Amino acid sequence: MTFWAADLEAAQSWYTEFLGIEPYYHRPGYVEFRLGDYQHEFGIIDTRYAHLAPQGPARPTGPRAPSRTGTWTIWRPRWSGC
C-alpha cells in the first residue's frame, strides 16, 4: 500500500513511532516499512513527485487497478495462485 505525504520526514517520524519499527527502505522522496509475518510493503511517497504519477483514468480497470485517491493497494490472496 502506498500513501502520499506533503511532509515526508514528519510522516516517516510519525509512522516510525506509531508502528514501533524503523523504515525498511529509505531514499529521497520515498520511505518503506515492512509489516507483519509476510512483510507486506507500506510505502510513503513525497507529494513533490506526484506530477510523475500516471494521469487520467487508471489502466487496467478492475479490482487491481491503481486508485486515484492517493493510495495504491495490491492484494494477492495466497490461494489465488497469483
Residue ranges of domains in the chain? 2-50+64-77
Q: What is the pLDDT of residue 82?
A: 46
For residue 27, what is its C-alpha cell?
531514499
Residue 61 has pLDDT above 60, yes or no: no
pTM beyond 0.75: no
Residue 78 has pLDDT above 60, yes or no: no
Q: Which CATH architecture has domain 2-50+64-77?
A: Roll (3.10)
More confident residue, 69 or 26: 26
Q: Are 35 and 25 spatial neighbours (Cβ–Cβ below 8 Å)?
A: no
Residue 46 has pLDDT above 70, yes or no: yes
More confident residue, 32 or 54: 32
| Residue tagged 511532509 (cell numbers) | 7
More confident residue, 1 or 60: 1
| Radius of gyration, CA atoms only, the chain | 14
